[in-house]
Amino acid sequence: MVDFFWNVGAPESEIDKLNDVGAICNPPTVGSWIDMSNKGGMDGGWYFPVEIALDKALEAADKGHEDFQTLKKWIDKHGFTTCYSVKRDMGAAPPRQTELKFKLPGSDF
């Protein structure tokens, strides 16, 4: 997967992040995604569909960003310790997004 992102011109810092988070998570499965817009734009990224401790999953995020601090406060307030998926945008230009999926308490649909 790293070769694919390298060949399409993903920033080296994002390829390093993919390697670093992959080493931390050691996921048995790795996925990728590509999103095409009607205006010809393209974006892509990677995801690890695994249950993982949040302290490890948060390594995928941009920790200096204000939204990271908001998310961290929400996680701490609600006592989450794991998420079940980590996803990262590999676009050429910031802002790059990190997505974490949580199992919320309550009934399943």
pLDDT (tens digit, 0 to 9) for every residue of the chain, 109 residues total? Answer: 788 888 877 888 888 989 999 998 889 999 998 888 898 887 889 999 999 999 999 999 988 888 899 999 999 999 999 999 999 998 777 778 899 999 988 887 6
C-alpha 30/C-alpha 85 separation (Å) is 10
What is d(CA 56, CA 100) in angstroms, rounded to the nearest whole number? 11
Q: Could you tell me where the beta strands, DSSP code E, fall in 27-108?
A: 31-36, 42-48, 52-53, 82-83, 85-89, 98-101
User: What is the pTM assigned to this prediction?
Assistant: 0.81
Ranges of each domain in the chain: 2-101
CA 49 – CA 47 distance, rounded (Å):
6
Contact 54, 76 (CB under 8 A): no
Sign of CA dihedral 60, 64, 65, 70: positive
